[in-house]
Amino acid sequence: MQRVAATTIGVLTLFTLPAEAAFPPASSSFDVDLEGWMVMEGANFTNEVTWGATGGNPGGYAHFVDAHDQTSYHAAQAAFAGDWSAADGIGAISYDQKIFDVGPTPVMNAYEVFIGGTGGLVMWHGDTPTGTTDWVNVVAPLVESEWSVVSGSWAGALADISGLAIRAELVSFSRDVTGLDNVSVYVPEPATAALLAVGTLAIFRRRQP
């Protein structure tokens, strides 16, 4: 319990990015540098993340080497901050992650994302990898039922996002090496959203007796 509490407090310290006026679809490709991303562990920012010029998906990427047992997160740049209310129910966070090495005594963790600010903090859990991987595209839909509220409320969190954290350490009690690439937060274009709605309705109708 102490480790979980310390991790949550550490994530809360992340949410101090300057807020933008409104939700901007944002992305980081890491093709030139780390684009302002850092790695956070507990209550501290560290320099355990470096930029790799090659080996990403494709091109550059954020290269993370675990040096100890603190749970670590990739901390986003300020371009991701803002009011995400327009993305509620239709938007998504997408990123690519790779596990290069699980170390000698791996205990695997699920893909994990935190978002929030003054109005709330929410957490998303995805699948749990079973070992080393190639680049895996991870998608966290911005749908309330997919997230757990840590503090405040879902609506409050989306209304004033001041931070985005993606779990870097996918292996506990071991010295893992992971990579992060192609982070994006987006809302589908109106035409795309309409097509998705029509397609979902058509599937629903076909399933009716």
| pTM for the structure as a whole | 0.81
Which residues constitute the domain of residue 115?
2-207
CA distance linking residue 46 with residue 29, whole number of Å: 21
> How far are the Cα atoms of 43, 144, 187 from residue 141, in angstroms, in the given order?
27, 9, 10
Q: What is the CATH number of the domain that holds 80?
A: 2.60.120.430
CB atoms within 10 A of CB 19: 16
> How far are the Cα atoms of 3, 120, 134 from residue 30, in angstroms, in the given order?
31, 29, 18
pLDDT in tens, 141-163: 999 999 999 999 999 999 999 99
pLDDT in tens, 90-129: 999 999 999 999 988 899 999 999 999 999 999 999 999 9
Total tally of structural domains belonging to the chain? 1
CA distance linking residue 71 with residue 130, whole number of Å: 18
